[in-house]
Amino acid sequence: MADYSHDCPILHVDMDAFYASVALREHPELVDVPVIVGGAQRGVVLSANYLARAFGVRSGMPSTRARRLCPQAVTLSPDYDTFTAVSSSVMETFRQVTPLVEVVSLDEAFLDVRGATRRLGSPLEVAEQLRATIHDEQGITCSVGLAGSVTLAKIGSRRAKPDGVVVVPPSAVTTYLHPLDVGELWGVGEKTQAMLHRLGLVTVGDIAHTPLRTLQRAIGVALGQHLHGLAWGDDRREITPRHGAFEADKSMGANETFGRDTDDREVIVREILRQTTRVTNRMRVAGVAGRTVTLTVRFADFTTITRSRTLPEATDVTQEVYRTATRLYDALGLQRARVRLVGVRVEGLVARTAVHRQLLLGEREHGWSDADRAVDRATLRYGTAMVGPASLLTARP
């Protein structure tokens, strides 16, 4: 497959039937039947898997109508804690590729990967790496649109569903855009789409080939200007890094899927240290500290458990977070249970300037905190491979 993505650094990544996919991960026995999430009694459908969508079931549909369309569907109650945890992990995966991540909702985000191509390959290669990582770590799939602009990337991901990638190179913008319905353009909702259709403007090409002044007289100056520009692929909006409202609890985390499932404690706690080091380094760069340490463990059958402990004082010290996470793991008392993934998260972040640590009697004036900052300075200058905990010098599992 030829790679035409070099001029397409904007990615729109959209999880496929996110809520339903996460719910099915917890209920693998339902993978071959239509499933609806939410919509109990007189509520509305939160999500549906693709088997249920084939019967016409859609998000936001009244549950009574959904049951009429697909009476054989199994209805599951939404687990918002799990949805949020999976979403946070996915967004952290994005931020490991680029800091330019604009979170749109729980299940989608825009990424600008211009700065990542030198180390990770072309934008298409980055997209495929992200898709593989999300599938391996979370057990769900996503679709990605790649383009030179936000609008085209969004359209591309929609056309890539489910579980695909669509690249819209600059040379193919009009060929790709003009046959599409006007409802595909950014900002065109159902009412605007219906109005445009009444005016005979059915496709994006109809918008593009209508003189701008004629279009503005018909639908208004601002909207006419906006849609005419989009119809010719003119979208100069930049990615604005931001977290979603669901991430307002202020946390940072990292996780890793092992190359093969393992029950070796030494291997597992070494990976806990690796993830802790990544998290606390990011915390220090951001100038924050946190009190609550959360450990995530996913087993070979995708069963996932989390355990948390709140410390007396907020910290950004690697050894303190690692020691707490390791104690949480040992407290699980696992006996030969094979582990697929481990993750570490620090929650309740506050500005480090607001943290006043009390020096304990007998404690060294210079300790692990100073060592962390020395390592930070060294890695900033020489790279992450040059210095780190000795136990991480062994090959990764």
Average per-residue pLDDT for the chain? 85
Position 18: which residue type?
F
Task: Report whether 136 belongs to an annotated binding site.
Answer: no
Question: Could you tell me if 129 and 65 lie in one domain?
Answer: yes
Residue 40: the pLDDT is 64
Residue 377: the pLDDT is 57
Total of domains in the chain: 3
In a domain, 143, yes or no: yes
Q: Which residues contact 120 (CB under 8 A, 6 or more apart)?
A: 97, 113, 126, 129
Q: Which among 177, 194, 210 is the end of a domain? A: 177
Question: Could you tell me if 126 and 224 lie in one domain?
Answer: no
With cut-offs at 50, 70 and 90, classify the pLDDT of residue 367.
low
Give the tokens for residue 335. Answer: 């006996």
Question: Could you tell me if 167 and 213 lie in one domain?
Answer: no
Q: Which among 156, 177, 198 is the end of a domain? A: 177
In a domain, 387, yes or no: yes
Residue 370: the pLDDT is 61
Question: Could you tell me if 66 and 192 lie in one domain?
Answer: no
How many whole angstroms separate alpha carbon 210 and alpha carbon 214?
7
Q: In this structure, what CATH number is given to the domain that contains residue 135?
A: 3.30.70.270
Q: What is the pTM of this model?
A: 0.66
Q: In this structure, what CATH number is given to the domain that contains residue 226?
A: 1.10.150.20
Question: Could you tell me if 104 and 168 lie in one domain?
Answer: yes
Question: Could you tell me if 187 and 257 lie in one domain?
Answer: no
Give the tokens for residue 46. Answer: 């939160």
Residue 380: the pLDDT is 45
Question: Could you tell me if 119 and 200 lie in one domain?
Answer: no
Residue 330: the pLDDT is 95
Question: Could you tell me if 204 and 155 lie in one domain?
Answer: no
How many whole angstroms separate alpha carbon 385 and alpha carbon 329?
27
Give the tokens for residue 274. Answer: 């690796």
User: Strand 35-38 vs strand 45-48: parallel, antiparallel, or unpaired?
Assistant: antiparallel
Question: Could you tell me if 147 and 86 lie in one domain?
Answer: yes
Catalytically active residues are: 108
Question: Could you tell me if 166 and 33 lie in one domain?
Answer: yes
Domain that holds residue 183: 178-231
Question: Could you tell me if 280 and 313 lie in one domain?
Answer: yes
Question: Could you tell me if 384 and 361 lie in one domain?
Answer: yes
Task: Report whether 107 belongs to an annotated binding site.
Answer: yes
Give the tokens for residue 25. Answer: 């991960």
How many whole angstroms separate alpha carbon 187 and alpha carbon 207?
14
How many whole angstroms separate alpha carbon 228 and alpha carbon 241?
27
In a domain, 236, yes or no: no
In a domain, 237, yes or no: no
Rg (CA), the chain: 24
Q: Which among 177, 194, 209 is the end of a domain? A: 177
Question: 318-348, pLDDT tens digit by residue?
Answer: 999 999 999 999 999 887 889 999 999 998 8
CB 289 within 8 A of CB 314: yes
In a domain, 244, yes or no: no
In a domain, 388, yes or no: yes
In a domain, 205, yes or no: yes
- H-type alpha helices, the chain: 18-26, 50-53, 63-69, 80-97, 117-120, 123-138, 150-160, 173-177, 190-198, 204-208, 212-219, 221-231, 265-286, 318-331, 368-382
Output 316 or 396, whichever has higher pLDDT: 316
Residue 355: the pLDDT is 57
Residue 388: the pLDDT is 55
Question: 187-244, pLDDT tens digit by residue?
Answer: 788 888 999 999 999 999 999 999 999 999 999 999 999 999 999 988 888 888 876 6
C-alpha separations of 264 from 61, 88, 260, 269, 397 in Å: 47, 27, 11, 9, 11
Give the tokens for residue 63. Answer: 């549950």
How many whole angstroms separate alpha carbon 304 and alpha carbon 294?
13
Residue 360: the pLDDT is 42
C-alpha separations of 208 from 180, 205, 387, 392 in Å: 12, 5, 56, 57
In a domain, 241, yes or no: no
Q: How far is CA 282 from the centre of its chain?
A: 17
Q: 145-158 burial by CB neighbour count: b if 16+ within 10 A, else e?
A: bbbbbbbbbbbbbe
Give the tokens for residue 318. Answer: 């690697």
